[in-house]
Amino acid sequence: MAEPGGADRWVHSPHGSCTERRFRRSAGLPVTAGSPFGRWLDTDPEVARLLAEEFGRQTSTLQLIASENFTSPAVLAATGSVLTNKYAEGYPGSRYYGGNRIIDEVEDLARERARSLFGAAHANVQPHSGASANLAVYHALLEPGDTVLAMRLDHGGHLTHGSPASVTSRLWRFVSYGVTPPSGDPGQPGEVIDFDQVRDVAKSEQPKLIVAGSTAYPRVIEAEPFRQIADEVGALLMFDVAHPAGLIAGGVHPNPVPLADVVTFTTHKTLRGPRGGAILATAELARRIDSTVFPGFQGGPLEHVIAAKAVAFAEAARPEFRRYAAAVVANAQALARGLAEEGFRVVSGGTDNHLLLVDLRSFDPELTGKVAQEVLDRHGITCNRNTIPDDPRSPFVTSGLRLGTAAETTAGMGVDEMAVVASLIGRALRQRDDPGALAAVRAEVAELCAAFPPYPDLAGPG
């Protein structure tokens, strides 16, 4: 078993935890609301209660949603800071309101740290989410009706990559590429991006923009083949690295910034920052991107979140973050092996990143992703149902689950714990109609989580 309190745990990392701990002790602040400032919510017991309950849920259940993580106490502090009080429409040096001298320094710091972390010429840190970052890029680079080539949603693409449910498909014409069929060969299992298809569709459809990136694809996505194809058809290349941004920062995934015209990402997944988005661009596209974000799409930026993004960028530049990123991938691979041993089919035969897709049909042909998610959620294992490539079931039902290891790696779990987690998942789903067996699973989940609290200083006096 991995030792709780390892190098990547907040209490032992240079994130200001010792200062915060001393502050809480000296001020006598309670820790019942998942925040060092619980006393400030005494006047609103309903919200205080809900925060405490959510803190309890997060720390007593396994967090395996691939798009979630545990931020550092420093990120929490910046997000809850007085910067939320300031209106700052515009950009550093060009605001529509006074009193922004310090705010300008905050945003400049975040922009510089983002540029340095990813080696980019320009960074915009104002997008409120990955979706708003993607929309801003589309508006900056395209005219209504232009053709965009992106990954199929049922093969791993994101809603903003052309889903009929998204405004993106109403404003632009999306065409898609997918993954190769499963081969049945363990050496080359298939279900990887079909670059022959990418090239064929690009040549026949002549897109103005090609989008690389995904929300449910467990393999490395190389930028070079996309760049070559984009150049062949005269298209711009956007790379959406919302999921692997932290793995790129940590050096365990290739960096697409040198090859892409624009890179978008979120700060709250593997990057382990606050909820939000960002855009990296070439110097030539900087003005178009900035003017589309503001005033084109958004009003006043969330400077408290931007400060938290700056904190996260600094954390991701430290050597211990590289160890964390490598551990995330190792844990995902260990979880994939464990689930395969339980009888689940792992899409593409494994994973190179923080997530894996599990085809439930080999485990139980009647078990749907919806049922599996609900059973696991009730017994302390949080994940999400997900379509698998060419899924015969609807996105609301699905034949698969998507699982991620970023959050529990932050909490200190290692490959030994991933083997335990795989066993717990198998037992819960195999015995989903046995209340006694499920109660035992829930008890073991609680015991495991108690050994790896993500915020040990908030769980009680230090």
Instruction: Report the domain count for the chain.
Output: 1
Q: Are 310 and 113 in contact (CB under 8 A)?
A: yes
pLDDT (tens digit, 9 = 90+) per residue, 291-328? Answer: 999 999 999 999 999 999 999 999 999 999 999 999 99
Q: Is the pLDDT of residue 406 over 80?
A: yes
pLDDT tens digits, residue range 257-284?
Answer: 999 999 999 999 999 999 999 999 999 9
State the pLDDT confidence band at 35, using cuts at 50, 70 and 90: low
Domain membership flag for residue 437: no
Q: Nearest-CA neighbor of 264 among 209, 314, 303, 304?
A: 209
Measure the CA–CA gap between 109 and 344, rounded to whole angstroms: 46
Residue 173 in domain: yes
Percent of the chain having pLDDT more than 70? 91
For residue 116, being part of any structural domain is answered with: yes
pLDDT score, position 18: 40
Rounded to the nearest integer, the mean pLDDT of the chain is 92
Backbone angles phi, psi at 62, to 5 degrees: -80, 125
Task: Look at residue 245 and tell me if it is in a domain.
Answer: yes
- Long-range contacts of range 186-194, CB-CB < 8 Å, 24 or more positions apart? 186/349, 189/348, 189/349, 189/350, 190/348, 191/347, 191/348, 191/349, 191/389, 192/219, 192/348, 193/151, 193/217, 193/219, 193/221
Active-site residues, by number, are 87, 89, 240, 266, 269, 275
Please report, for the domain that includes residue 113, its CATH number: 3.40.640.10
Tell me, yes or no, whether 351 lies in a domain.
no
pLDDT at res. 400: 98
Contact between 229 and 195 under an 8 Å Cβ cutoff? The reply is yes
- Please give the residue range of the domain that contains residue 226: 82-316
Q: CA dihedral defined by 191, 395, 441, 378, rounded to 10 degrees?
A: 160
Q: What is the DSSP string of 285-311?
A: GHHHHHHIIIIII-SS--HHHHHHHHH
Contact 221, 214 (CB under 8 A): yes
The reply to whether 433 falls in a domain is no
In a domain, 220, yes or no: yes
> pLDDT exceeding 90 applies to what percent of the chain?
87
168: in domain: yes
* Residue keyed to tokens 């085809």: 359
**Confidence grade of residue 42 (pLDDT, cut at 50, 70, 90):** confident
